[in-house]
Amino acid sequence: MSRSLFLILAAAGALALAGCSGKPSAVSPVGEADASPAAIAATHGDFGPPQGEPIHAVLTSPPHVPPPVNRNYPAKVIVELEVVEKEMPISEGVSYTFWTFGGTVPGSFIRVRQGDTVEFHLKNAPDSKMPHNIDLHGVTGPGGGAASSFTAPGHESRFTFKALNQGIYVYHCATAPVGMHIANGMYGLILVEPPEGLPKVDHEYYVMQGDFYTTGKYRQKGHQPFDMEKAIDEHPTYVLFNGREGALTGDNALTAKTNQTVRLFVGNGGPNLVSSFHVIGEIFDKVQPEGGTVAQHNVQTTLIPSGGAAMVEFHTDVPGSYVLVDHSIFRAFNKGALGILKVDGPEDKTIYSGKEVDSVYLGDRSEPNLKAVTTAATAHAAGTLTKAEQVAAGKQLFTGTCSVCHQANGEGLPNVFPPLAKSDFLAADPKRAMTIVTHGLSGKVTVNGHEYDSVMPPMSQLNDDEVANILTYVLNSWGNPGGQFSKEEVTKARAEAPAAAAPEH
Ligand SMILES: [Cu+2]
């Protein structure tokens, strides 16, 4: 569509809106909820030739965002971005060969001003195996730059575009097979600031969701290759913020203080899933859905399409951990789509009475990391795994998996969840526990003289060495008889048919 036609349509749409509400359209700063023709026209424009000396864009790695451009004239901005293919952790003890823009997933954050002329240099590292290119959704022109930027390993290409529209835009690789390049992490965000800049806030962060497809199961240790079939079927193994489980938790959590404003630039690289982006315990004071210009207010969950982005702002009132999730909630707790914003400062009991959210929502993910689990996995691979390492790993995993029911101290809950501590049922046949964890348990059981008639679902999210480590921890804790299980024993127990539902005791 030609630019003038776009302007006419935009203006007509805005007039229709103003007519419906019956209110006169006031001109307020662009970026606020304002659909007036003047505001919309100002969101798309040329502003003339670049002025002054060319500027080299500051690029940042997630979760950081470059500083505001702080400029009142259009400039020529030079962006230099290098594609790097590299192996990085995708979860504790799991590695994946990512293809990246700038060495990170998502790629480097780019920030320019509306009206800027961007001279884009795309390099492809000499040790890359694949050619790559870039399609920037902030570019007006066929392919968003993709056709002009096809770059073989060890080469560089250059193209220039004018940032006509303000907004927050996804960029991604568009080299065939496109889905595979995106699934391997080739996406990022470019912010085109409105001419007057964005309203000042205390913190800006860069968060981008993506879905990942590995041949191994979720958290299956070792190097995991890309699984094309799972990707085509849209069955992700991982759904992640910033390309790695734990990228925004523990020591990597985002931070703020109470009584501050936070702006999140939230993108979704896909390749397949749409994100229901939510921050547990916060209400978004302002959202620019789909990265557009008209703002929404008082939003709980905002939908971020694959290949789309949003600007989200909120004020921090009460200290604590706020959990970023894709509210398609199995993705958060079983596929990794989870991050933390840690807010420090004095309590305000008039707004919230207290008690931390961590253990309720997070289980093992509230731990700073799962290092003991990685140590055990590495030791197992090397054939040097000790009982102490299994117990340490099992303790961490127990927190996130079993403790919700059996409690952190193994005491269970009267009449609901049987104890694992000093359990005579467990001691009578320790091996049976492997079947219970892998296949579940239902029907009447008597533990320490009390009868339970309930259901324990199979813990099918755990792999064999995790089950071995958890049970070794349980057997060596709380006055239980001791002992040790290997991964191989669990594999065998899992393969055998489930034991009869209600073993009499
Ligand atoms: Cu690529």
Q: Which residues are annotated as a binding site for Cu cation?
A: 132, 137, 172-173, 181, 186, 327
| Contact criterion met (CB below 8 Å) for 130 and 152 | no
Residues 6 or more apart in contact with residue 301 via CB below 8 angstroms = 276, 277, 278, 327
Distance 173 CA to ligand 1 centre (A): 5
Ligand 1 centroid, distance to 54 Cα (angstroms) = 28
Closest CA to 344 of 277, 279, 253, 242: 253
∠299-284-296 over CA atoms, to 5°? 50
Both tokens of 399, joined, read 């927190």
The whole-number average pLDDT for the span 324-328 is: 97
The two three-digit tokens of residue 50, written as one number = 């670049």
Q: Ligand 1 centroid vs 140 CA: distance in angstroms?
A: 21
Among the ranges given (2-16, 128-142, 375-389), the one the predictor scored with the smallest mean pLDDT? 2-16
Q: How remote is the CA of residue 183 from the centroid of ligand 1, in Å?
A: 10
Say if CB 375 and CB 389 are below 8 A apart. yes
Expressed in angstroms and rounded, the spacing between residue 187 Cα and the centre of ligand 1 is: 9
Instruction: Give the least confident one: 28-37, 429-438, 456-465.
Output: 28-37
Q: What pLDDT score was predicted for residue 396?
A: 86
Ligand 1 centroid from CA 170, angstroms:
14
3-class DSSP string for 170-223:
EEECCCCCHHHHHHCCCEEEEEEECCCCCCCCCEEEEEEEEEECECCCCCCCEE
Q: Kindly tell me the sign of the dihedral angle through the C-alpha atoms of 35, 37, 38, 43.
A: positive
Per the listing, tokens 């398609």 go with 328
DSSP letter assigned to residue 252: G
> Distance from the CA of 48 to the center of ligand 1, in angstroms?
33
Q: Tell me the pLDDT tens digit for each residue of 141-155.
A: 888 888 888 899 999
Degrees (nearest 5) of the Cα angle 53, 56, 60?
Answer: 155
The per-residue pLDDT for 497 is 62
Distance 450 CA to ligand 1 centre (A): 60
> What is the CA(157)–ligand 1 centre distance, in A?
14
Q: Evaluate if residue 1 carries a pLDDT over 80.
A: no
Binding-site entries: 132, 137, 172-173, 181, 186, 327
Classify the C-alpha dihedral 390-395-396-402 as positive or negative.
Answer: positive
Checking if the pLDDT of 460 tops 60, the result is yes
Contact 74, 97 (CB under 8 A): no
Residue type, 17: L
Q: What is the structure's pLDDT at 378?
A: 82
Work out the end-to-end distance of the chain between its first and last CA atoms, rounded to an integer number of angstroms. 76
Three-state DSSP at 376 gives helix
CA nearest to 313, candidates 303, 298, 294, 326: 298
Architecture of the domain spanning 205-349+356-366: Sandwich (2.60)
Q: Is residue 158 within 8 Å of residue 121, measured between CB atoms?
A: yes
**Before 49, cis peptide (omega within 30)?**
no
Q: What angle do CA 259, 111, 43 make, to 5 degrees?
A: 90
228 C-alpha to ligand 1 centroid (Å): 15
Give the CATH class of 55-195: mainly beta
CA of 185 to the centre of ligand 1 (A): 9
Residue 160 has pLDDT above 50, yes or no: yes
Cα–Cα distance measured from residue 407 to residue 442, given in angstroms and rounded to the nearest whole number: 19
Q: Give me the percent of the chain exceeding a pLDDT of 90.
A: 68
What CA–CA distance (Å, rounded) separates 124 from 154? 5
CATH topology for 370-495? Cytochrome Bc1 Complex; Chain D, domain 2 (1.10.760)
- Pick from 173, 66, 57, 169: nearest CA to 116: 57
Ligand 1 centre to CA of 103 (Å) is 13
Mean pLDDT of the chain: 87
**Contact partners, residue 329, CB within 8 Å, separation at least 6:** none
Look at residue 375 in the predicted model and tell me its pLDDT. 83
Which residues, in sequence order, are bridge partners of residue 212?
238
Please tell me if the domain spanning 205-349+356-366 has the same topology as the one spanning 370-495: no
Task: Give the CA distances from residue 284 to residues 62, 280, 297, 319, 326, in Å, rounded to whole numbers and listed in that order.
Answer: 21, 11, 7, 16, 15
Go through the chain and tell me how many residues it has.
Answer: 505
Output the CA 181–ligand 1 centroid distance in Å.
5
Domain limits, the chain: 55-195, 205-349+356-366, 370-495
